[in-house]
Amino acid sequence: METLSYARTESPAGPLFLAASKKGLVRLEFENRMQKTPPGIELRESKAALAPYLRELDEYFSGRLRDFSLPLDLRGTAFQMACWQALLKIPYGETRSYLDIARTIGHPNACRAVGMSNNRNPIAIIVPCHRVIASSGSLCGYGGGLDVKRKLLALEEQHNPQHPRLPLQIGA
């Protein structure tokens, strides 16, 4: 049985749930869309264990942090891992399309599969699937809801003078 430390916190994006192993952050989810805990995993509440992650999230939401530095313990298929690693390379305040991600990982015809991998992303915000948009530039799909996606992109736009206008139709 593996034990993960967890904590819950409020944020400008809504209530969040975080869980970490000894290796790093395993989950950062919107409380209204939490995945079931897999068999063989025990959760133990520990704000102290998650304090460094909570601190970086606070800094991100205040606009003082652009790049998260704490370790992640990503768990998924090889395809999902490739997608999530590509997401981690999208700079703060920028966006990429599902097609861009599919091309980056060497599967240019796998836009839908990229979308499903984003949907299964266990570490929201830090693995920035909110930065992925449709090729048309419109917003589409986000586990936290499109309103939260808009808020996260607007937050990054506000604190990113190098890229003052994100290439997307916020009202889409």
The DSSP string of 53-112 is: HHHHHHHHHTTS-SS--S-B---S-HHHHHHHHHHHTSPTT--EEHHHHHHHTT-TT-HH
- The pLDDT value recorded for residue 53 is 97
- The pLDDT value recorded for residue 169 is 47
Q: What is the CATH number of domain 2-61?
A: 3.30.160.70
What are the start and end residues of each CATH 1.10.10.10 domain in the chain? 78-158
Distance CA 73, CA 44 (A): 17
Residue 158 φ then ψ, to 5°: -60, -35
- The pLDDT value recorded for residue 137 is 81
- The pLDDT value recorded for residue 107 is 97
Query: Is 78-158 assigned to CATH 1.10.10.10?
Result: yes
Marked catalytic residue, from 83, 111, 129, 140: 129
CB 41 within 8 A of CB 4: yes
- The pLDDT value recorded for residue 158 is 86
140 is catalytic: no
- The pLDDT value recorded for residue 94 is 92
Q: Which pTM does this prediction carry?
A: 0.89
Q: Is residue 117 within a helix (H) or strand (E), and if so which, with residue range?
A: helix 111-119
Residue at token pair 């593996």 = 2
CB 144 within 8 A of CB 30: yes
What are the start and end residues of each CATH 3.30.160.70 domain in the chain? 2-61
Indicate the SS3 state at residue 25: strand
- The pLDDT value recorded for residue 128 is 96
Phi/psi-derived region of residue 137, left when phi > 0, alpha when psi is between -120 and 50, beta in every other case: left
Cβ neighbours around 90 below 10 Å, total = 19
- The pLDDT value recorded for residue 170 is 42
CB 69 within 8 A of CB 54: no
Low-confidence ranges of the chain (pLDDT < 70): 161-172
